Amino acid sequence: MKSRYTFPAIFHFADDGISIEYPDLPGCLSCADTEEEAFKMAKEVLQLHLYGMEQDKDIIPEPSKIKDIRLEENETVVLIEVFMPSFRDKMNNKAVNKMVTLPRWLNELADKENVNCSQIFQNALKAYLEVDHRQ
């Protein structure tokens, strides 16, 4: 896995907004209302798409050369760069819901004492699995 990727995106300008596509990454699409939003959305969709490919162990292709990309009317090509380590950390630390079953009396006592059960569960799992608290 690389730390940085730079891929060409095609911005297609229409009356109803800007469509974004990556010619090297089928299915990596987005849209926006303004140019500023288009750059933001282009970066976000590229990060998500590449992260998904990494998780699926797909081969990430080499980006096309800008000079080789054929454009239609109202299109322009822009280079979008993403830094993946911080995005991977964000995705790996994203909260997930986990169903936990407790005896009613224990749940009532925890509620009465305003216990943060999620935090207690996380701390207990980390201790049990002997993992660093920052992970």
Per residue in 62-82, is it b (16+ CB within 10 Å) or e — as a string? ebeeeeeeeeeeeeeeeebeb
Q: Which CATH number fits domain 4-92: 3.30.420.40, 1.20.1050.10, 3.20.20.70, 3.30.160.250?
A: 3.30.160.250
Mean pLDDT score of the chain:
94
Quick one: pLDDT at residue 81? Answer: 98
pLDDT confidence of residue 133: 59
The 10s digit of each residue's pLDDT in 75-98 is 999 999 999 999 999 998 888 888
DSSP 26: T
Specify the pLDDT at position 1: 86
Q: Can you give the residue ranges of every domain in the chain? A: 4-92, 95-135
Q: What angle separates helix 84-92 from helix 35-55, to the nearest 10 degrees?
A: 70
Mean pLDDT of 55-73: 97
- pLDDT in the model for residue 93: 86
Residue 51 near residue 87 (C-beta atoms within 8 A): yes
Handedness of CA 32, 37, 38, 40 (dihedral sign): negative
Q: What is the pLDDT of residue 134?
A: 58
